[in-house]
Amino acid sequence: MKLLYIINVRMPTEKAHGFQIAKMCESFARLGIEVELLVPQRDNSITQDAFSYYKIERLFKITYVHVPDITKSKIGYYIHQMLFAAVATVYAYRSNCDLVYSRDVLPLQIIKFFKKAILEVHNVPEHWVLFYQWSLYKIYRVISTNNWKKNFLIEQFNYPTEKILVFPNAIDLTAYQTSESRENICKQLGLDSKFRHVVYTGHLYEWKGAHILAQAANRVPIDVRVLFVGGTDIDLKKFTAQFGNEQIIVVPHQPHEIIPLYLAIADVVVIPNIPSSRESTFATSPMKLFEYMAAARPIVASDLPSIREILDDSTALFVPAGDVQALAQGINALLNDLNRATTFARAARQKVESYTWMERAEKIENFIR
């Protein structure tokens, strides 16, 4: 079976979706599927190729097609999207692939009429509803990253239940196993091992709630350092200017293979998402969540339906979303109760064992064959 994965992203990219796409292509290829990833050629400050950057095996082909990189402005971005969709449609028509797979609805508008098209749904529209309903027409199968999105597609668009598979994002468990001591890891990272560490990884977008955690940092013990690992240069500068103090450590974006080290020295990890959008409240399937679980770290999480799709009261301590005081109290509760923290961490680690990339690829392959 030959699968053409079409996606309009900068590849490689420091954003989580790039890693997810790369791991899925690698996992499909490991199953014996012939995989080709089709992406646009875009300006990129990352000089490594995708295989080196993501530390994945060279088991599939990446094809870059030329589309004018005019994504700096909003109108340029939309023009770029349409141009790439047109180029991808022609490419798919000429390809001898059996299936076309995408996280974008736009390239599938015409492709779905001459190839079996699989759409992986990561968010659902709040606008352009009629366009999205048309987009689902003739789609061969849908992969949803949570049950809420599945139910939304069924209820809002009458999409057939039997054509939707739910499987969240996933994790490579072996990447989060280390025998190094906490002291050695802290030394590698330039951190002081005498402090306890609360860790947040990922971007600093408002809906992810990093600013809530930054405010809560003022309410934890003085021997605790709160680490924010990730974010764009612009966001880091704004965030540091607004929240910087001696208890907050802001770390620039790190290569993906470094993240397990930061998690290994974490006494508590945090998912502080706020319900500022439907995506955050119901639809998201955070990569960091599975990383936290794989690292066997005690999790404090916002009490949102999107998070409770994976975690429950046996695997994490939930606090009201957007509540600074409640978040600080939750962090302090786990910092001060090692037995409870360890129980949460072990339960989360055990649960995440069924969410590997290979398990995800196998389930999807069986569903789309």
- Measured CA to CA, the distance from residue 44 to residue 67 in angstroms comes to 14
What is each CA distance from 206 to 203, 249, 255, 301, in whole angstroms? 9, 18, 23, 16
What is each CA distance from 33 to 9, 26, 29, 46, 131, in whole angstroms? 22, 10, 5, 28, 32
- Measured CA to CA, the distance from residue 369 to residue 364 in angstroms comes to 9
The three-state (H, E, C) secondary structure of 249-297, written as one string:
EEECCCCHHHHHHHHHCCCEEEECCCCCCHHHHHHCCCHHHHHHHHCCC
Q: pLDDT at position 266, please?
A: 97
3-state secondary structure of 17: helix
pLDDT band with cut points at 50, 70 and 90 for residue 177: confident
Q: Is beta strand 99-102 parallel, antiparallel or unpaired with respect to 61-65? A: unpaired
- Measured CA to CA, the distance from residue 293 to residue 44 in angstroms comes to 31
What phi-psi label fits residue 96: left (phi over 0), alpha (psi between -120 and 50 degrees) or beta? alpha
Determine which of 102-116, 186-200, 236-250, 322-336 has the lowest per-residue pLDDT on average: 236-250
pLDDT tens-digit series, residues 104-130: 999 999 999 999 999 999 988 877 888
> Quick one: CA torsion of 315, 321, 323, 324, rounded to 10 degrees?
60
Taking residues 9-26, report their average pLDDT: 95
Q: What percent of the chain has pLDDT over 70?
A: 100
pLDDT of 273 strictly over 90: yes
pTM of the model: 0.93
pLDDT band with cut points at 50, 70 and 90 for residue 278: confident
> Quick one: CA torsion of 365, 113, 59, 170, rounded to 10 degrees?
-50
Taking residues 316-345, report their average pLDDT: 98
pLDDT of 245 strictly over 90: no
pLDDT of 236 strictly over 90: no
pLDDT of 279 strictly over 90: no
Among all chains, which residue has been given the structure tokens 């969709």?
A: 85
Mean pLDDT of the chain: 95
Q: pLDDT at position 277, please?
A: 83
pLDDT band with cut points at 50, 70 and 90 for residue 3: very high
199 forms bridges with which residues in the sheet?
227, 269
Among all chains, which residue has been given the structure tokens 């402090």?
A: 195
Q: Is beta strand 299-302 parallel, antiparallel or unpaired with respect to 248-251? A: unpaired
Q: pLDDT at position 173, please?
A: 94
Q: pLDDT at position 276, please?
A: 87
Domains annotated for the chain, with CATH where assigned, are: 2-166 (3.40.50.2000), 173-352 (3.40.50.2000)
Residue 184: both structure tokens together: 């050695």
pLDDT of 232 strictly over 90: no
Taking residues 308-319, report their average pLDDT: 97
**Using alpha carbons only, what angle is made at residue 254 by residues 248 and 260, rounded to the nearest 5 degrees?**
85
pLDDT band with cut points at 50, 70 and 90 for residue 294: very high
Taking residues 172-189, report their average pLDDT: 92
What is the edge-to-edge ordering of all strands in the sheet holding 2-6? Answer: 61-65, 34-40, 2-6, 99-102, 116-121, 141-144, 164-166
